[in-house]
Amino acid sequence: MCGPAGSGKSTLAGRLAAGGAVVLSFDEEAWARGHRVHPLPDDAARSIHAELQRRLVALVRDGARVAVDTSFWSRASRESYRVVLRPLAVEPVVYYLATPRAVVLERLRGREGNGPHDVIVPADLAVRYLDGFEVPTADEGPLRILTGA
């Protein structure tokens, strides 16, 4: 699934987990490693993505349904996960949470830093995240657009 911070990815991940999917969460892994401030240093982000990709491949090989909960803010980030799945003949479906900008900003203003899905994102950083987000397109592969509100 993809969308900027505050778009509702973790809420969707919870619903998918309740339906039997294994959720791999960037934010949970970052929190477990002690990261409380975003953006993470590049080396930390790379390490977390490498670990999530390793787990993803192992779970898919075991036949699990997997949901990856991270922003996938760029086409390149989405492609990096497709690349690791290609040898397994798996084509991932991207769930894009098209949440209105005002809703995202309101949700982020309400964060208190109490857990991995409540990391404080300062207003200027939130705007940069929104402005830099590369919306997925159907030419990348299977795409489902969910309207978040």
Q: Which domains does the chain have, with CATH numbers?
A: 9-146 (3.40.50.300)
Residue 16 scores a pLDDT above 90: yes
pLDDT in tens, 132-146: 999 999 999 999 999
Provide the whole-model pTM: 0.94
**Are the CB atoms for 78 and 2 separated by under 8 Å?**
yes
DSSP class per residue in the chain: -B--TTSSHHHHHHHHHHTTPEEEEHHHHHHHTT--SSSPPHHHHHHHHHHHHHHHHHHHHTT--EEEES---SHHHHHHHHHHHGGGT--PPEEEE---HHHHHHHHHT--S-STT-----HHHHHHHHHH-----GGGS-EEEE---
Rounded mean pLDDT of 86-103?
96
pLDDT in tens, 22-73: 999 999 999 999 999 889 999 999 999 999 999 999 999 999 999 999 999 9
